[in-house]
Structure 1
Amino acid sequence: MSAVVTGIGVLAPNGLGTEEFWSRTLDGVSGIGPITRFDASRYPVRFAGEVPGFAARDHLPGRLVPQTDRMTQLALTAADWALLDAAADPGDFGEYDMGVATAASAGGFEFGQKELQNLWRLGPRHVSAYQSFAWFYAVNAGQISIRNGLRGPMNINVAEQAGGLDAVAQARRMVRGDTPLVVTGAVDASLCPWGLVAQLPNGRLSTGDDPRTAYQPFAAGARGHLPGEGGAILVVEDAESARRRGAPHLYGEVAGYCSTFDPAPRTGRPPRLAAALRGALADAGIDAGAVDVVYADGAGVPELDLAEAEAIAEVFGRNGVPVTAPKSMTGRLNAGGAALDLAAALLSIRDGVIPPTAGVTGPDERYGLDLVTGARHVRVGVALIIARGYGGFNAAMVVRRCPPAAPRPARAAAVIQGEGT
């Protein structure tokens, strides 16, 4: 049973909607700039990737807005767009035929901070009753399910950056387990003081003073990454079921997946990222030579970039495959980042183009990567996406062009055309 992506909904720092995001990504347009959602002047990190021009009331019922965190408002909108793109009307499916599998790094940070401030300043009577669920890391899946009447299986992953791929892999398992359609992917948003402070202790955020150069994965001047918000929600279906109902798009097949976990730093054992890449290829039944592009995790931290480059070289050879990290234009979106990379990989397959790692004008030669720094027009049949979460989580996923539908048996076709009995 083949699981394919039939719908994509994107909200990213460099574009509202799939096509706007994709056009700007191919043009190298960055969505990274000064933080505007709060006064960041006293923080060491002052730049981020903010989703521009999004007003929740333009996309959602007014009653939902005070109940939900910005993360959930973005996720609900992306899910609406993905289902519309897939032409999947829940009313056309059986009651339990549509499921949900999403990922989130933490939950509704901004909503939670606001209500905690109300508690400290004004007392418990001023804390919203919606705090009971708006902060929860599982809330996106629940709200997507409620809004669209999706009563099939539900799954939530909490694995930071790697979670976006883990959620889609779970969706594939659900489709193989006879759930015809699953809404999946990830959207995160925690650009508030509480959310930023929570990320500072890891020492990986860039404190650069120029948004154009503060986040440069695989560059000689790499100094860390920048945070961001947004992500992608996808519709994953059984291929034959999607064809039977006349789905307008089959963006690609979710062909392979593998996750691994790095050993503790002081054990002396090697990292397990290369094993994840090999496992995803094996799951897809292909060898490394079949891959046309690798969407890298691109931490922007020299030692982490080197470890990823070594894993890629171990599997593909030095300079053995085109590598790109378009998140240089959005920042790292926590769980939403890998889902957005997956959406971009599917669009690469559709349009035959690899987007650039924008802002990197001088790739560091020691990494041994064929780093794409300008849009490269090539046929893309197979893409591999890498994601690494904080603490040692690794995930890799292979997507490939959907094969043409198998021809119907001649007699069956004749019967359908009225030429037989």
Structure 2
Amino acid sequence: MSAARAGLRPVITGIGAVTPSGIGTEEHWRSTLRGELRVGPITSFDASRYATTLAGEVTGFDPADHIGGRIILQTDRWTWLGMAATGFALTDAAYDPAAYDPYATSVVFGAGSGGNDFGQREIQRLWSRGRQAVSVYQSIAWFYAATTGQTSIQHGIKGPSGVVVSDDAGGLDSLAQARRTIRRGTPVVLAGGAEAGLTPYALTCQTTSGRLSTSREPRGGYKPFDRDAGGHVPAEGGATLVVEDPASAAARGAPGVYAEIAGYAATHDAYHHRDPTPDPRWYAEAMRRALADARLTPADVDVIFADGAGSRDLDEVEARAIHAAFGAHAERVPVTAPQGLTGRMSAGGSALAAVNAVLSIRDGVIPAVGNLDDPAPEYRLDLVRVPREAPVRVAMVNARGYGGFNSSLILRAVDPATTDGGIR
């Protein structure tokens, strides 16, 4: 790889979202800025016997509006949501992979668990009717790479593709892999992630973390950075981003460029997942390295989209990490975590956080921390309480995954009149 390509900064030319706050990017964004709480009692099954009964569900979604019947039969809800988000993103970017060389496009999604809904149904068939009743599509619908594979098949994509598994950090890590893929010569990469882990089996698995909220009231469910934070609630949904080589975007006449991927870094805490609280230094190190990769300083950052775990100990770790990485600037940079309105979507959540950051850059507004009523003062952070109008040129997006994953992504506004990545 040449030195020029090693330093190339890909741009984001399309975004698509399917979330509890809306089907489609703009519907989601309007709901987010209005501060609409989209967490409620689980309706997809009877969760009354579980400690956690709340979640963020995508309502009013009909897969037939977005993908073909044959694919619906063969795949799971998480793949339906991911492919719908991809359709929105491709339309937004005015990019049809079928119109280009099949090897000119790649797919790299993050994934947390795979096809839970399909798997739940087939497990129940196995128990009640025996192995002959299990669908032949179980293996491909459940598989954690199913959305990547089905997306590549639907659009005839043959570029180097894959899946990144790092729990909630997966959405950001997929964007980092997209950057690597573009630097190696592929012009366009679809990245992001979506999840649909609201089934009895999936909820049981998530409960083992000890991090889920037991509140029966939606307002008390998921409260990042709040005095009353008591864990998070699960959610389904996610987002897809079209990531391009800037030269490719210019050559094909892309309708717009939202931002560039200016920096990225990832670390791992390397601690046992049953230890009560991780050390914040490795999370802080990811932020420092991402800034260094972007050749920026803490003073250049206009907003931090935080992981916002919603547990007092993990929120404290995040606050300490921000102070360690940002020093004197830590109390001045706005910090937000809109996901308190929707719940945590595993890999889909960090992909959506990147979309939220892109929209903040586009519109010059920072969304509020979701469901925040009583900020914990000891964190000493500028937590955004109501949507704040402000020029956003540089956004840091952070995410952590269960088991010690830490990722930090820097998105930067690009002057559409230039091709050198200049800040607006």
CA separation of 1:218 and 1:269: change in aligned 2, threshold 3 A: closer
Does 2:304 correspond to 1:294? yes
2:153 is matched by which residue type in structure 1? I
Aligned residue pairs: how many? 408
Counterpart among 335, 353, 360 of residue 365 in structure 2: 353
Query: What's the counterpart of residue 3 of structure 2?
Result: none
Per-residue deviation at 1:64?
Answer: 1.4
Q: Does 1:283 align with 2:293?
A: yes
Structure 1 residues 219-242: Cα deviation after superposition (integer angstroms, max 9, x where no partner): 011111000000101100011210
**Cα distance, 1:58 vs. partner?**
2.1
Segment of structure 1 superposing worse, 90-99 or 153-162: 90-99
Query: Which residue does 2:268 correspond to in 1?
Result: 261
| Aligned residue number for residue 5 of structure 2 | none
Q: Write the deviation string for residues 55-86 of structure 1: whole angstroms up to 9, x where unpaired.
A: 11222111111111000011111111111110
Where do 1:9-408 residues align within 5 Å?
9-264=16-271, 271-316=281-326, 317=328, 318-406=330-418
Query: Is contact 2:269-2:278 (8 Å) kept?
Result: no
1:96 match: secondary structure: helix
User: What letter is aligned with 1:240?
Assistant: A
TM-superposition CA deviations, 1:359-408 (whole Å, max 9, x none) = 21210100111000100000000000010000100000000101344489
Whether contact under 8 Å (2:280, 2:320) holds in the other structure is no
SS at match of 2:88: helix
| Percentage of pairs with the same residue | 50
Change (3 A) 1:8 1:189: same
State how far apart, in whole Å, the 2-side matches of 1:340 and 1:328 are: 13
* 3-state SS, counterpart of residue 202 of structure 1: coil
Aligned counterparts of 2:195 and 2:279: Cα–Cα separation in 1: 32
Task: Write the distance in 1 (CA, Å) between the matches of 2:204 and 2:362.
Answer: 39
Given that 2:171 and 2:193 are in contact with CA atoms closer than 8 Å, whether structure 1 keeps it comes out as: yes
Q: Distance in 1 between matches of 2:371 and 2:90?
A: 33
Structure 2 gap segments, 5+ residues each: 1-7
Partner secondary structure for residue 99 of structure 1:
strand
Structure 1: segments with no counterpart, 5+ residues: 409-421
Q: Is the 8 A contact 2:280 2:318 kept in 1?
A: no
Kindly state the Cα deviation for residue 358 of structure 1 after the two structures are TM-superposed.
2.7
- TM-score normalised to the size of structure 1? 0.94
Deviation at 1:154, TM superposition (A): 0.4
- Taking the aligned partners of 1:276 and 1:137, their CA distance within structure 2 comes to 26
Mapped contact 1:261–1:394 kept (Cα < 8 A):
yes
CA distance in 1, matches of 2:182, 2:205: 36
Whether the 8 Å CA contact 1:263–1:270 is kept in 2: the answer is no
Shifted more, 399-408 versus 144-153: the winner is: 399-408
**Max Rg structure:** 1
Aligned CA RMSD, in angstroms, stands at 1.5
What SS does structure 2 have at the residue aligned with 1:277?
helix
Distance 1:92 1:405, change over 3 A: farther
Residue 185 of structure 1 aligns to which amino acid in structure 2? G
CA deviation map 1:92-120 (0-9, x unaligned): 31121000110100110111111011011
Q: Residues 380 and 406 (structure 1 numbering): CA distance in 2 closer, same or farther, change over 3 Å?
A: closer
Q: Judging changes above 3 Å, is the alpha-carbon distance between structure 1 residues 81 and 341 closer, same or farther for their aligned structure 2 residues?
A: same
C-alpha contact (below 8 Å) 1:313/1:320 kept by paired residues = no
1:6 counterpart (1, 13, 18): 13
Q: Assess if the C-alpha contact under 8 Å between 2:225 and 2:312 holds in 1.
A: yes
Divergent runs of 4+, >4 A: 265-270
Distance 1:175 1:374 in 2: 37
Contact 1:358 1:374 in 2 (8 A): no
- 1:269 CA displacement: 6.6
Instruction: Indicate if the aligned counterparts of 1:263 and 1:269 stay in contact, CA closer than 8 A.
Output: no
1:315 is aligned with what amino acid? A
Taking the aligned partners of 1:233 and 1:159, their CA distance within structure 2 comes to: 17
The AA in structure 2 aligned to 1:353 is V
Matches within 5 A, 1:401-416: 401-406=413-418
Q: Cα deviation per residue 1:144-181 (whole Å; 9 max; x = unaligned)?
A: 10001111110211111011100010001111111000
SS in 1 for 2:241: strand
Within 2, Cα distance between the matches of 1:375 and 1:19?
Answer: 16
